[in-house]
Structure 1
Amino acid sequence: MLHHISLGACDIERAATFYDAALRPLGYVRVWTDLRPGEQEQAVGYGPPGAGDRLAIKQVSSPLPWIPGFHVAFSAPGRASVDAFHAAALAAGGVDNGRPGLRPDYGEHYYAAFVMDPEGHRLEAVCRTSE
């Protein structure tokens, strides 16, 4: 249904560094870059290697308000990738918002981890395999 989603970041270079690290374990990479230090309207895009972006991070001048219930969930190929996403996100400046583990209330085999990026966006990595 969705082609891509965009999130705002006041510090675009910090955001790019965070998403480079956090999305790598899930198999997503930076697929385009428009970074011009000191200039406005910078952005980066992430998606599967060789494909278009599914997530764009765009520079904004002021923090966006927190939206209750909003988060972005990324598909993970397996539980080890969920674990690695969580660890990489924390190492890159993210905040723990739910350690990796099964979430039986969300569905059978639902394995997920939750973090907040340095801008406060809530992120999830999830797989539904029976590993």
Structure 2
Amino acid sequence: MSDHVKFRISGYAASRAFFLKALEPLGVAVVSDDPATYGLELRPEGKVSLRLYQTGQTPARLHLVFTAESRQQVEAFYRAALAAGGKDNGAPGLRHHHANHYAACITGPDGNNIEVVCHNEA
């Protein structure tokens, strides 16, 4: 249903570096990268893209959730996001939403809660 999600960031270079590294395990590719116009657009093949653009305002905090194909991708995201400077907001593990809701959460550069979830058994 969705084509892309676009949100404001306060530091283009820091957010660019964080999201590229943190979402690398999900197979994202840079579609466009122009801070003067549309900002950074990242898209996993065949999926909804994420667009980040610089703002002078304080961005609203969001809860962004990305889908992983496997629990190993969730764990790889968590490690990559921590290495990229994210802060732990929930280590990889099963959550209460349903029996196979396996997720990890990181607080990103602008205070957004970045979650990656796998709904598969493994």
TM-score, length-scaled by structure 2: 0.90
In the alignment, which residue of structure 1 is the partner of 2:39? 43
Aligned equivalents of 1:79, 1:58: Cα separation in 2: 30
**Residue 75, structure 1, aligned to residue 67, structure 2:** yes
Corresponding residue pairs, total? 122
Structure 1, gaps ≥5 residues long: none
- Structure 1 runs (4+) deviating above 3 angstroms are none
1:114 corresponds, among 77, 80, 105, to 105
1:21-62 per-position Cα deviation (integer Å, ceiling 9, x unaligned): 011101112221114xxxx5561001024x686100010112
Structure 2, gaps ≥5 residues long: none
Identity of aligned residues (%): 34
Which has the larger Rg?
A: 1
Deviation at 1:93, TM superposition (A): 1.1
Two-structure CA RMSD over aligned residues (Å): 1.7
1:70-121 per-position Cα deviation (integer Å, ceiling 9, x unaligned): 4111010100100010111111111111100011x21121100001111111
TM-score, length-scaled by structure 1: 0.85
In the alignment, which residue of structure 2 is the partner of 1:58? 53
Query: Counterpart of 1:117 in structure 2: which amino acid?
Result: G
**Residue 84, structure 1, aligned to residue 69, structure 2:** no
Check the 8 A contact 1:41/1:59 in 2, yes or no. no
